[in-house]
Amino acid sequence: MLSCSIRSLRRLKCCCNKRWSSLILAKGYCFSKPKVVPSFCNTDIKFSRFYVWEQQSSLRQWRRRSLYTVTDTYEAIELALDSVVKIFTVSSSPNYFLPWQNKSQRETMGSGFVIPGKKILTNAHVVADHTFVLVRKHGSPTKYRAEVQAVGHECDLAILVVESPEFWEGMNFLELGDIPFLQEAVAVVGYPQGGDNISVTKGVVSRVEPTQYVHGATQLMAIQIDAAINPGNSGGPAIMGNKVAGVAFQNLSGAENIGYIIPVPVIKHFIAGIEESGKYMGFCSMGLSCQPTENVQLRNHFKMQPHMTGVLVSKINPLSDAYGVLKKDDIILEFDGVPIANDGTVPFRNRERITFDHLVSMKKPQ
């Protein structure tokens, strides 16, 4: 079943083996000798100059890219016609009440697009519990058998491969771009419900922040757009200029013109893990719960200096790598050299802020 609504789901904790990044901690009551994990973290690095440069660079990049968002829409559509495919999936989900048998087979449809390496990128929920998968390119009546090479349910992405040489005749791949800025125009291409032919909807970027992924019940970065995303659009590209800005995967039920696409950093993280190891590697998580330190009395209780900002560790998963390294009531001041604010956010692009969980999730698992 295509997941196209956001429900209130409980966030799953991902415990993966990874090397600790530069993480500066301040032990409760003991700020005279702060605890540093690991010891090689350089606390003398100044970030203010870099942050100002990053803001100016982002502003120049936005001005330069905004010149191409008006006239390149038709070129993007023409490029997508030879790249976007319709996916037909026959799946059989497990029957948890009768575990010795599966549920009856059902057929679902979705979208996908060709990426370099003669591979097709789509959503994980499009091919979840699949029995077999068929793909059909635009303008062709023939369906071709596809094999699922890798699935990442956590990030709701999957890669398909087609062995037939006939399928790849006339097909072009789409290149991955960058994270779009607010109000930049994107075109969502796919095969939504209501018809059999390809569909193109246009909208602008409304928000960029970590969002809960319905299929994987995890929180990763997502891009909110006002273009229509309906069942069947899942797996289709959101094109900005002549490159892909994201992959359509869900919308907000009960709201108008609120859809979400998976951004390029998440896609590249997913693909890079498969290319390096041959299998899905997953996304990192510290395996702990943090509490904001916006309350003045709370900061005074832990003897935080006026220049100190960070979050309070309230709970640690016993199965995570953080268990035994961090302790409850530790205060995380920085992650990988980036200061963490009292509300748990870090600087992002031009005068934007996101939760520091994004920095953790983008680390490479070991």
Burial class (CB in 10 A: 0-12, 13-18, 19+), 252: middle
CA angle 331, 336, 341 (to 5 degrees): 45
Burial class (CB in 10 A: 0-12, 13-18, 19+), 329: middle
SS (H, E, C) the chain: CCCCCCCCCCCCCCCCCCCCCCEEEECCCCCCCCCEECCCCCCCCCCHHHHHHHHHHHHHHHHHHHCCCCCCHHHHHHHHHCCEEEEEEEECCECCCCCCCECCCEEEEEEEEEECCCEEEECHHHCCCEEEEEEEECCCCCCEEEEEEEEECCCCEEEEECCCCCCCCCCCCCCECCCCCCCCEEEEEECCCCCCCCEEEEEEEEEEEEEEECCCCEEEEEEEECCCCCCCCCCCEEEECCEEEEEEEEECCCCCCCEEEEEHHHHHHHHHHHHHHCCCCCCCCCCEEEEECCCHHHHHHCCCCCCCCCEEEEEECCCCCCECCECCCCEEEEECCEECCCCCEEEECCCEEEECHHHHHCCCCC
Could you give the residue numbers annotated as active site? Answer: 125, 156, 234
